[in-house]
Amino acid sequence: MIPHTLTTNRTRPANATVRTRGLSLPEVMISLAITSMLLTAIAAAFHSSSQIITQNDEFFRATQAGRVCLNQVLTEVRRADAIACETINFPNFSVPPLTADLLPISRPLSGQSTMEFIRYYRYDAPTKRIMLYFQDANGNISAEHAVAANVQKSPFAWELAYDKDNKPYVKRLSIALEILVGNNNIRLSGSAAPRRTITYQ
C-alpha cells in the first residue's frame, strides 16, 4: 500500500497585505541631518546673494545721485551771479561765507526758484549727505533736501582772487565726492569758475 502524502498549498491569499520594512530611527536621523545641512547651505547662499544685490543697488543709486549732484552744482557755479566768500550782511539776515562744508550761491533771477534769494549746498557730516536748501529775501530758510548720500568727507575747495578794489572773490570752485557703500568706493570730482568773474584779455 502506497502511503498517502499530504501536500499543502502555502500560496498567499489574494487579499493579504504586503508588509515592507520602513526606515529605522538612525536612518531617519541621518536623513534629517543631511536635509537640514542642505537647507542651511541654500539659505546662506540666498542670503549672501540678496545682500550683494542690495548693496550693488544702493551703490548704483548713491553713485548716480553723486553724479547728478556734481553736474548740478558745477552748472550753477558757472552761471552764478556770486559765491559768498565773506559774510554778507543784509538788513534782515546775513549770508555765511563759503566753507569746506557750505556753498552759498547767488543765482541769476531768471534761474531762481520761487522764494529763492540764496541757494545753499551743505555737507552734513553725521549723515554723510549733501543737503540743499534756500533762503528768501526776508531771511526765511526752507526745508532741506538730500541731493547726495554716502559722501565720506567735506566736498568743497576753492581758489580766491582779488578784484581792482582788493576785494576777494571765488576764482574757481572744486568739488570732490568720495562715495562709499559697503566695500564699493568711487571718487567723483570736477571744478568750475563763475563766468561773471572771468576777465577775458
Assess contact for 118 and 95: CB atoms under 8 A: yes
pLDDT at 96: 93
| Residues present in the chain in total | 201
CA–centroid distance for 189 within its chain:
17
Cell of 174: 572744486
On whether the pTM is more than 0.75, the answer is: no
Greatest Cα pair distance in the chain: 152
For 83-93, what is each residue's pLDDT tens digit? Answer: 988 898 888 88
User: Which residues of the chain fall short of a pLDDT of 50?
Assistant: 200-201
Q: How far is CA 121 from CA 96, 127, 183, 194, in A?
A: 12, 14, 27, 16
Residue 111 DSSP class = G
Cell of 13: 491569499
Assess contact for 156 and 100: CB atoms under 8 A: yes
Assess contact for 126 and 80: CB atoms under 8 A: no
